[in-house]
């Protein structure tokens, strides 16, 4: 079988930044067909314009409360290139889990995917560029779990795999990450991935994962994606530049919230900026925005649990109705500023608060039961009959009294006669 044939047969894993390479996903996790980051095709120059998401997510308002300072966000992906000045001072030494690289710091990225995500989350402001991360003072922990996503990487065993994603999640949680960004997904629920998520949650980290992408020209079906579908994870779908649902994003029960995935400003490997998601919104970039928002919450509410950070983003998301959830956008488009301001007293309508899982409901006081009687059409007749009966009884009683008086008088007269 050719390399291409070997590559497509077991297709199940999808790097969320690319397109699904088949109508049906089956088999064991393997590498998907995904183009290299579009950043690599763009000039290595700064872009002065601000990212549209900075306005649509009300970043300026959110930054009045939190900027992500002191929060460690792991990017489990293709590595993070620290040569880009946006990231030079934002990245801590991480790890490279690909091919036994032996503890390399995870700062090599030939694919460009992880570098873009890191910049969306925590890019530092530099002269001449409008790019700045949503959690602009958070720190990035690079965890490299694949080199590239092409036939060559698949043959070499360095493409995406569910097993390495699981290892990356565990490593990140074990090295202090509070937020773990996983812009990858698979349709296979593997024990390794499930257990890694549980371990990370127990360690105090929130895993934020993409709901998945699809090539709508070839694949219009929705599939449940992991790790986004696990209850502990914040699953993220993409919306377009107008914050509307997009068919490029996989929909389903794994979607908890949505975030911008189009017209995304990101750093380019080596230097310069680029614009991503113009041809199709991507849940990869949406996931990075959600991870950044979670980092703001981790700074502002350090004593809360990952489930509480997740709840804040869900319950305050913009949606059609407070109790309305859809498979397209989950509980709605994230609003970081509202999530930071939210006071959880258990009364909010929508997703159940982990702080009030069984909030007692007030027992209403029973209203007094009033029995309505219909008007009695014979009431006047009955009233008359009663009066006649009373009158008759009075006449009889009077007659009896008169008789007794008469007979008593007759008796006295007889006793007064001769004798």
User: What φ, ψ does residue 145 adopt, rounded to 5°?
Assistant: -120, -5
Full DSSP string of 66-116: ---TT-EEEEEES---TTSTTTTTTB---EE-STT--S--S---SS-HHHH
Domain membership flag for residue 113: yes
pLDDT of residue 31: 34
What number of other Cβ atoms are within 10 A of residue 163's Cβ?
Answer: 15
Q: What is the distance between the alpha carbons of residues 171 and 246, in angstroms, rounded to a whole number?
A: 33
How many whole angstroms from its chain centre is CA 305? 15
Q: How many domains does the chain have?
A: 1
Residue that has been written with the tokens 């919306």 in this structure: 239
Joined together, the tokens standing for residue 341 give 């301001």
Choose among 45, 210, 202, 187: nearest CA to 113: 210
Write out the H or E segment, with its range, that includes residue 300.
helix 283-300
Joined together, the tokens standing for residue 2 give 């050719």
pLDDT of residue 37: 72
pLDDT of residue 406: 43
Strand-strand pairing, 273-276 and 184-186: unpaired
Q: Which residues are catalytic?
A: 77, 113, 284
pLDDT of residue 108: 94
Joined together, the tokens standing for residue 400 give 């009896």
Residue that has been written with the tokens 């890019």 in this structure: 123
Domain membership flag for residue 403: no
Domain membership flag for residue 37: yes
Express each pLDDT in 221-266 by its tens digit.
Answer: 788 999 999 999 999 999 999 999 999 999 999 999 999 999 999 9
List of residues 6+ apart from 121 with CB closer than 8 A: 73, 75, 133, 134, 135, 138, 140, 181, 288, 289, 291, 292, 295
Express each pLDDT in 266-298 by its tens digit.
Answer: 999 999 999 999 889 999 999 999 999 999 999
Domain membership flag for residue 410: no
- Which of helix, strand or coil describes residue 257? strand
pTM as predicted:
0.80
- Which of helix, strand or coil describes residue 330? strand
**Residues in the chain with pLDDT values less than 50:** 1-12, 17-35, 361, 363, 365, 369-374, 377-378, 381-382, 385-389, 394-396, 398, 401-403, 405-419
Domain membership flag for residue 390: no
Residue 127: which domain range?
3-42+54-341
pLDDT of residue 103: 63
Identify the CATH number of the domain in which residue 183 sits.
3.40.50.200
Domain membership flag for residue 365: no
CB-neighbour burial class of residue 297 (10 A; exposed 0-12, middle 13-18, buried 19+): buried
pLDDT of residue 217: 65
CB 257, CB 313: distance < 8 Å:
yes
Choose among 16, 11, 248: nearest CA to 120: 16
Q: What is the distance between the alpha carbons of residues 351 and 25, in angstroms, rounded to a whole number?
A: 30
Q: Angle CA(154)–CA(159)–CA(160) in degrees, nearest 5?
A: 135
Q: What is the distance between the alpha carbons of residues 40 and 44, in angstroms, rounded to a whole number?
A: 8
CB 31, CB 153: distance < 8 Å:
yes
Domain membership flag for residue 188: yes
Domain membership flag for residue 362: no
The DSSP code for 326 is: B
Per-residue CA distances from 398 to 401, 404, 411 (Å): 5, 10, 20
């Amino acid at each position: 079988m050719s390399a291409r044939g070997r590559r497509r047969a077991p297709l199940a894993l999808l790097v969320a930044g690319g397109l699904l390479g088949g109508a049906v996903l089956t088999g064991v996790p393997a590498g998907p067909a995904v183009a290299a980051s579009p950043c690599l095709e763009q000039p290595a120059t700064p872009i002065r314009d601000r990212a549209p998401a900075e306005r649509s997510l009300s970043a300026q308002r959110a930054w009045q409360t939190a900027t992500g300072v002191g929060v460690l966000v792991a990017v489990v992906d293709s590595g993070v290139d620290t040569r880009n000045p946006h990231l030079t001072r934002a990245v801590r030494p991480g790890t490279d889990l690909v091919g036994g690289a032996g503890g390399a710091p995870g700062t090599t990225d030939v694919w460009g995917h992880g570098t873009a995500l890191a910049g969306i989350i925590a890019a530092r402001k530099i002269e001449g560029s409008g790019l700045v991360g949503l959690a602009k003072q958070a720190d990035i922990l690079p965890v490299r779990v694949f080199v590239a996503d092409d036939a060559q990487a698949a043959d070499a065993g360095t493409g995406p795999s569910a097993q390495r994603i699981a290892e990356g999640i565990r490593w990140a949680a074990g090295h202090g990450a509070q937020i773990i960004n996983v812009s990858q997904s698979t349709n296979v629920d593997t024990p390794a991935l499930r257990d890694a998520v549980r371990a990370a949650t127990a360690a105090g980290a929130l895993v934020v994962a993409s709901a998945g992408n699809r090539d709508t020209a070839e694949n219009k079906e929705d599939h449940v994606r992991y790790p986004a579908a696990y209850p502990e994870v914040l699953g993220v779908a993409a919306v377009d530049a107008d914050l509307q649902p997009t068919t490029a994003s996989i929909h389903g029960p794994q979607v908890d919230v949505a975030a911008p995935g189009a017209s995304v400003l990101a750093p380019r490997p080596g230097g310069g900026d680029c614009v991503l998601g113009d041809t199709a919104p991507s849940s990869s970039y949406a996931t990075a925005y959600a991870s950044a928002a979670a980092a703001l919450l981790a700074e502002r509410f350090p004593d809360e649990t990952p489930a509480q950070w997740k709840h804040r983003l869900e319950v305050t998301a913009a949606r059609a109705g407070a109790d309305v959830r859809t498979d397209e956008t989950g509980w709605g488009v994230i609003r970081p500023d509202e999530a930071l301001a939210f006071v959880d007293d258990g009364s909010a309508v929508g997703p159940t608060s982990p702080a009030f899982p069984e909030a007692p409901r007030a027992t209403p006081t029973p209203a007094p039961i009033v029995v309505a009687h219909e008007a009695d059409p014979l009431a006047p007749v009955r009233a008359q009959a009663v009066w006649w009966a009373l009158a008759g009884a009075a006449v009889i009683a009077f007659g009896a009294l008169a008789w007794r008086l008469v007979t008593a008088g007759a008796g006295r007269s007889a006793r007064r006669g001769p004798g």
